Amino acid sequence: MSPRKKVVTKKAVKTTRKSVRGAKTAKKTAAKTVAAKPRADRGAKAPQLLRGMRDILPADQNYWDYIYDTARELARDFNYGRIETPILEETNLFVRAVGKETDIVQKEMYTFQDTSGESITLRPEATASIARAYVTHGMLNQPQPVKFWYWGPMFRHERPQSGRYRQFYQFGFEALGEDSPVLDAQIIMIANDFFKEMGLPITVQINSLGTPESRQAFKTELVSYYRSRRGQLCEDCKKRLNKNPLRLLDCKDEGCRGLRNEAPQIVDWLDDGSKNHFMKVLEALDEADVPYVMNPFLVRGLDYYTQTVFEIWPEGDDDEARQNALGGGGRYDLLVEMLGGRPTPATGFAIGVERVISYLRSAEAKVPAVEKPEIFFAQLGEQARIKALALFEEFRKARIPLAEAFSKDSLKAQLEIANKLGAQYTLILGQKEVLDGTILIRDMEAGIQEIVDQKKIVRQIQKKLNKPLAE
């Protein structure tokens, strides 16, 4: 049986209004009796932003949109499909993928137990989740490579300092299921293209970590080199010597950096297959005119990398450029297998959005401005306010943004707001206009007003703003 339709008459509305009023009075009385409670909190400190977290306000959104749109266009051009993975994952995913001994897993993860007692973690990066998704959805059975791009917040409990946040955004490109060195070069070219589109000068720093076997042989040599100079190492590097010796190469400490120049270099330890792979990556980059700098000290922090690794630095080779790295990535041929999938070669990169924004600002780069409404809608009185909403919908259909302030009654106050917002025209709807079916258009600069039929207002404004006329 279909439900009976309720016919709403004006009389019914009036009765309802009365009963609403009645209910309001009852509510007020009830509110008075419990009013003391919220007051008790008044003296309490207002909630603060957590350390290392930021609000991204409307005035900054033009930077965010610009970066997002550029990344999305590149993804379309190179055929990378958008993927979104959950922000929360099993802790074990990151421990297995990123590596037990890495800074991220040792010190930086937001890990806690949920109410069911499971250990979960706010993702510190997205590559592990994407490899997990590849396995979860059996994507091995799709045509390879499977190419993704993503955008979203990452979480690392780092010491907040300039350019380091605890929640920060990354976008990235990942291609799984193909071991061609040309795919590495494509990934690097996309990262490079992104900065070309932004008009930001960068350098691509590149190195190869080879296979786990060649890397192991290199690690042994590296440890023996540093062990004989242990006394000159910083405290952190003394610990790294046993746990994560490759990280000795990118330590910021003066003493450690001095030792680095004489240290063995990984390229000399690459097996023939890895050397060949690396040469082909460089050849393809040369062919595509993508400039790069060979950096024998670049190791990246995470366990899952194999073969090609790279970082994007603001122009320059110095320490400052390194500390302000805009992004990084490389090949991770073992990751999918480490997560229980079948052996699947893969390559990708991540770029830090806040770092790009800060670079855009310091380079005073031209970024499309935040779009502001050119029309302010002023209404005078209850009837006009109610009528206004229907007109808002008319303007929305014509894609003309409007600003308004419904809580203001006086025209003067509303015109002041319109001025502050930089509106070109203010539409004025008063009691008289509601009855007449008209509306006023006020040219804010000239101060001239004209009366227009409400039915024609959208078309009039379209003409004035030189917008294409709606049917």
Residues that bind ligand AMP (CB under 6 A): 125, 156, 158, 163-165, 168, 170, 325-328, 350, 352, 354-355
DSSP string of 395-443? HHHTT--EEE-TT---HHHHHHHHHHHT-SEEEEE-HHHHHHTEEEEEE
3-state secondary structure at position 47? coil
Beta-sheet strand order (sheet of 346-352):
81-82, 146-155, 167-176, 346-352, 327-331, 306-314, 202-208, 293-294
Rounded to a whole number of angstroms, the minimum distance from the CB of residue 163 to ligand AMP is 6
Residue 116 or 161: the one with the smaller Cβ distance to ligand AMP is 161
Residue 99 or 328: the one with the smaller Cβ distance to ligand AMP is 328
Rounded to a whole number of angstroms, the minimum distance from the CB of residue 355 to ligand AMP is 4
Rounded to a whole number of angstroms, the minimum distance from the CB of residue 313 to ligand AMP is 9
* End-to-end Cα spacing for the chain: 41
Share in percent of the chain as helix, strand, coil (round to 5): 45, 20, 35
Residue 55 or 393: the one with the smaller Cβ distance to ligand AMP is 55
Rounded to a whole number of angstroms, the minimum distance from the CB of residue 367 to ligand AMP is 18
Tokens for 377? 């809608």
The gap from C-alpha 122 to its chain's centroid, in whole angstroms, comes to 15
Encoded amino acid at 61, one letter:
Q
Rounded to a whole number of angstroms, the minimum distance from the CB of residue 215 to ligand AMP is 18
Residue 56 or 451: the one with the smaller Cβ distance to ligand AMP is 56
Under 8 Å between Cβ of 180 and 281 = no
Residue nearest to ligand AMP (CB): 352
Rounded to a whole number of angstroms, the minimum distance from the CB of residue 191 to ligand AMP is 11
Residue 148 or 168: the one with the smaller Cβ distance to ligand AMP is 168
How far is 153 from 166, CA to CA, in rounded Å?
A: 10
Rounded to a whole number of angstroms, the minimum distance from the CB of residue 175 to ligand AMP is 17
Residue 170 or 211: the one with the smaller Cβ distance to ligand AMP is 170
How far is 54 from 68, CA to CA, in rounded Å?
A: 18
- 403 half-sphere exposure, CB direction, 13 A CA radius: 19
How far is 285 from 208, CA to CA, in rounded Å?
A: 14
Residue 64 or 225: the one with the smaller Cβ distance to ligand AMP is 64
Rounded to a whole number of angstroms, the minimum distance from the CB of residue 466 to ligand AMP is 41
